[in-house]
Structures are given as structure tokens and as C-alpha cells.
Structure 1
């Protein structure tokens, strides 16, 4: 009986993880044309392509913010903790141990993932006075060879010296 429940939990965990990988964003109904017909208008992007020019007025170093999402570490930790917790006790004690193991495993897995991804890179806030008089702040991971007073081109929210 114990061996069957382990297999059942492992099968459920595997199917849950694989189900999370399913791509439901695209469906191609039977009989539909796989390519657009001629003369079809394509939608425009939500943000237009824009290039601005200006002069760097300030460069400030700021620590990057860590992501706060729950990732694969918590999911895998919860599954492993639940399986290990299920090995302890019997009856309602086993159920409590399984729940406690799943919660503890999820917390531990999440913490391990945070520490692994926790290498914080510094980011630079670059203040640019645009040629039209407006002021724009660009945040990027590297300043390359930028310095205060340098002429820059801002393209896709990244400042480049020119």
C-alpha cells in the first residue's frame, strides 16, 4: 500500500509539472488556413519604435530589486516535502505530516531559489536631457562608456553613446 501511494504521488506531481508546461496560447482549428491571406493588415505593436537624442546629466548607481515571484523551487520543494512527509506516521498523523512536509518543502525550495537567484546586479539610473528640452531617466545594467556630458541616443529604453 505504501509503495502504491508513493507511485500515485509521483505520478500526480509529474503530471502537474508537465501540465504547467502546456502552451494554451495558440490554437489552430481544423480546416483553418495556416498562413494569412494576402492583403491582411498586421496589428501594430503596442509601443512604437522611438529614438531620442540628448545629453547625459546624471548617472546614479542603485541596487537591483529582486523578483518576488514563486518559482520552480517552491513547487519542487513542495512536492518533495509532501512525498517525504507522507512516509511518516499513519492515519491522520500521516496526513498532517504530508501537509507539513509540503509546506516546509515549498518554503525551503523558495528560499533556495531566492539565494541562487539572489546575486543582485547593480543598475544605473541615467538622467538624460533630451534635445527637445524634456528629461528622461533610463535604467540599465551597464553604462558602457557613458559619462556626464556625453551625447547619447536612447533606443528601446537603453542609452548609447554616439
Structure 2
């Protein structure tokens, strides 16, 4: 009778264990929902090129007028300090700094380089998730509409 009770106990334990495990929920497979996140090994920055256009972008130039003003003011103030004594010296320093600043500003502006325009490429991509991305980059991406590409560091590359 002891063996029957052991068998019955094992059977009852097995049934309780199966019942407990059947209550566990397994994750649902990916169905395009963001509830579970993207499936593994899916490229989130990949897609098909819709259009490629050559565009012109304005580049920043260098503006040396501020630097010229400061250097001119300092130089003018130093030169003014060599003139006169007392209140005349102070007036000469201030006047030299003002005149030096004006001259330095003009010299700096004359040596500034204007910004120009450069050729860039604007690529519109329909990503695999259905969204659109537009990337404007200087180097020619070498892609055409219909090409499959990926975006990395704001540059488009063929895949």
C-alpha cells in the first residue's frame, strides 16, 4: 500500500506542476507592433531611396572683424599711453584705443573670407518601418531611386 501512495503522490505532484506551468504566458511573436519592440536583427535605419537631388548649401565664412577690433584697440591704447602725462595721458590712451579699434575692425573685415555655396545631395529614403527620412550630405552617396540603403552618422550608404 505504501508504493500506491507514493505513485499517487508522484502523479498528483506531476499534475499540480503541469497546471502551474500551463498558467505561464509566453511572449507573442512579433506582428509589427511596437508593444514588444522590433524583432532581432532588423535594421531600423534601412530603406529604399525615393529621390536624390543635388542642392546647394550655404557655408559659414570666417569673420575676423571682431579679432581685428580687439587687437586694434589694444595696440591703439598702448600707443596712446606713450603720449603725455596725467589727464592728457588718459585721454591719449582712450583715444588711441577707440581709433585703434575702428582701424582694426576695418582691417579684420577686409581679411574676412565670405561663406560660399557648396554642392550637396539631398536623399529621401522610405525606411523599412514606413517612415521617411531625408539626409543632406556633402559627399556623393552614389545611389539612385530604388536602391536599398542604410543611414549611419547622418550619411547614406548603399547596402
Q: Please tell me the TM-score bracket, short chain as reference.
A: 0.5 to 0.7
CA contact (8 A) 2:57 2:118 kept: yes
Alpha-carbon separation, structure 1, partners of 2:133 and 2:66:
40
- What is the aligned residue count? 109
160 and 107 in structure 1: CA distance in 2 versus 1, 3 angstrom threshold = farther
- 1:129 maps to 126
The correspondence of residues 101-116 of structure 1 with structure 2, limited to 5 A, is: 101-106=100-105, 108-109=107-108, 112-115=111-114
Distance change (3 Å), C-alpha of 1:59 and 1:96: farther
Structure 1 position 137, deviation (Å): 0.3
Equivalent position SS for 1:114: coil
TM-score (ref. length: structure 2): 0.53
The 2-side partners of 1:68 and 1:119 are apart by 7
Is residue 150 of structure 1 aligned with residue 147 of structure 2? yes
CA distance in 1, matches of 2:52, 2:145: 7
SS at match of 1:121: strand
Query: Structure 1: where are the runs of 5+ without partners?
Result: 1-49
- The gaps in structure 2 that reach 5 residues or longer are 1-42
Question: How far apart, CA to CA, are the structure 1 residues paired with 2:121 and 2:75?
Answer: 45
Q: CA RMSD in A?
A: 3.1
Q: What residue in structure 2 maps to residue 42 of structure 1?
A: none
Contact 2:60 2:116 in 1 (8 A): no
